[in-house]
Structure 1
Amino acid sequence: MKKSTKTILWAGLSMSLFSSLFITSFSKAQEYGNYANDGYNHNSVRPVHESHIMYQKSVWHRISLKQKQNRPFFAAGNEITGLIIDAVKLGIIRPYKNDSLKTRMSQEEFLSNIQIPSDEIQYNDIEEDIFIQENNSVWDDGTGWGTEEEEGVEAQEFYANQLYTLEMKTSVFFDKTRSRMINDIQTISIIIPAEMNPATGLEKTIATFSYKELVQNLFRDNSSAIYYNERNNQAHRNLEEAFDLMLVNGTLIKYANGKDEHIMDMYDDQREALLASQNYQANMIEYESNLWEN
């Protein structure tokens, strides 16, 4: 009788534990937008089953939109950074905190990140009929006095053409069913350049975006999402097509490694790090070429 009771208790406990684990895993799968153990990367625009992948490596590139090859992504009035920022404000795109794509960033935090630090705001000359008194009061064109606190200072945001640095995370893998190497873009991050952040002199990430969400919700069938063609204004490319063709050029700054280090952190000399970056990219091209020898 005691043995039977103990068996029932253990069985009940096991079922309860199994149910708890199942519910937890299912909720996490829903939260991150993919299904557990189905073999697909659901952050990919065109997912490939893991059984078809013979080789895979994650790489990160730093992209300067001021570089000549990248200027079509940064045409005046059609800057990719401005397009993305406007989409976030309209609720079309939701940002992430980092490129793991696990934690969403609130719109309030995003708007805070694109504001110019108050001590760096450069104010325009005040018109002659508006002047500041010794008691920090402001004359309001004859309508009355008001303190600066009452008037308030509207926070200024970075202009799109000031945000010319992107970081792109790509999953590079060899698809054995198509017999080719695939550059599967995962994320794009907008970076505040160091020169635009003189308070610290450091770059700062504004937010990270799922490339799949950018394509599906913003780039595709959007006449404003253009890769600008200077030679023929009737033949601008869509941004999705431009990225698919890898028309963007960037510097390799990191590849997946056990210490999660950037290439710059692996070498003492900046020139040596740059050569190592170029050598790593060359080796990846050579690896693909050597697959078909012999």
Structure 2
Amino acid sequence: MRRGIGILMLLCLLSVSAWAQYSYNPLALHPVLEDDIMFRRVLTRVINLREKQNRPFAAVGHHIAQEIIWAVDSGYVTAYKYDDERMEVPLSDSTWRFQIAERDEYDTYLDMPMEPSNISVLEITEEIIFDKRRSRMYINILSLALVAPGYNKQAGGMDLYIARFKYKELAEYFRKKYEESNQTRCLWYNPQNNRRHMCLTDAFELRLFSSRIVKISNPDDLFIAQYPELEGNVEAQLYKSREIEYELMEFEHNLWEF
């Protein structure tokens, strides 16, 4: 009898564990129970590493793209195809090598990795959620993609979208290497005080980057640049991006106000 009760309790615990596993976003670094989420929007942002505010992410000898390449090569982080937003099928080793390979002026594949400075754009996908249980807004970066602007010479000099990564894996890798290296790897370079550099994970958590919204979840799954009324009008696209930013800030303010 007792054995039967024990087996029943074990089955209940396993079922609860499985239920809990699927009740959280597995890509979120700070997961919130789905039933507690009152509001969610998914955004895509572009971080230009050549902007002055973003230079600490790409300091000489401490370029974030180089750290990510090392993370993949060492097996700590998995690379996925850029279009694989759910990140379910990893890139093969040969495909990864091709994606990060240096190319000459004739677009010939060279057996050496490209210069990290060519990877001057990061594209992050994040979710903004409001946790009704804690009455708090959370921003979870879900994925990060590396982009080399103008590097896809075979496509007429278009941007090369190298790969997509689970931010949760990157955050854990950045923290691990930062601590193991005595704060000399995976760091956000502090130009004002070289004694106070910061782990890349903390820099992202503190939002120490300048970015522009290029997409917000919508029924047609369109980027802002693809909106019919905005196509070809760069100024209007920038205005729309800023407008979305302010609308989200106002929404959060109103939640607290009322």
TM-score tier by shorter-chain length is 0.7 to 0.9
Please name the residue that 1:117 is paired with: 103
Question: Secondary structure of the equivalent of 1:279?
Answer: helix
CA contact (8 A) 1:167 1:188 kept: yes
Q: Offset at 1:37?
A: 6.9
Which has more radius of gyration? Answer: 1
Please name the residue that 2:239 is paired with: 275
Please name the residue that 1:290 is paired with: 254
What is the RMSD of the two structures over their aligned residues, measured on CA atoms?
2.0
- Is there any run of 5+ residues in structure 2 with no aligned partner, and where? 1-17
The answer to whether the aligner puts 1:90 opposite 2:74 as a matched pair is: yes
Q: Which amino acid aligns with 1:183?
A: I
Q: Which amino acid aligns with 1:167?
A: E
The answer to whether the aligner puts 1:169 opposite 2:102 as a matched pair is: no
Q: Offset at 1:35?
A: 6.8
- Which stretch shows the higher mean deviation, 91-100 or 39-48? 91-100
Q: Which amino acid aligns with 1:165?
A: V
The answer to whether the aligner puts 1:211 opposite 2:167 as a matched pair is: yes
- Is there any run of 5+ residues in structure 1 with no aligned partner, and where? 1-33, 123-152
How many residue pairs were aligned? 230
CA contact (8 A) 2:152 2:159 kept: yes
Please name the residue that 2:139 is paired with: 183
CA–CA distance in 1 between the matches of 2:100 and 2:213? Answer: 25
Aligned match of 2:111 in 135, 149, 155? 155
CA–CA distance in 2 between the matches of 1:87 and 1:277? Answer: 32
Distance 1:273 1:96, change over 3 A: same
CA–CA distance in 2 between the matches of 1:36 and 1:290? Answer: 31
Please name the residue that 1:102 is paired with: 88
Q: Which amino acid aligns with 2:70?
A: D
- Which stretch shows the higher mean deviation, 107-116 or 153-162? 153-162
CA–CA distance in 2 between the matches of 1:100 and 1:40? Answer: 15
Q: Which amino acid aligns with 2:197?
A: H
The answer to whether the aligner puts 1:261 opposite 2:230 as a matched pair is: no
TM normalised by structure 1 equals 0.73
Q: Which amino acid aligns with 2:124?
A: M
Aligned match of 2:52 in 58, 68, 91? 68
CA–CA distance in 1 between the matches of 2:177 and 2:70? Answer: 17
CA contact (8 A) 2:62 2:186 kept: yes
CA–CA distance in 1 between the matches of 2:189 and 2:20? Answer: 40
Please name the residue that 1:145 is paired with: none
Please name the residue that 1:10 is paired with: none
CA–CA distance in 2 between the matches of 1:264 and 1:95? Answer: 27
CA–CA distance in 2 between the matches of 1:165 and 1:64? Answer: 5
CA–CA distance in 2 between the matches of 1:96 and 1:89? Answer: 13
The answer to whether the aligner puts 1:234 opposite 2:195 as a matched pair is: yes
Question: Secondary structure of the equivalent of 1:203?
Answer: strand
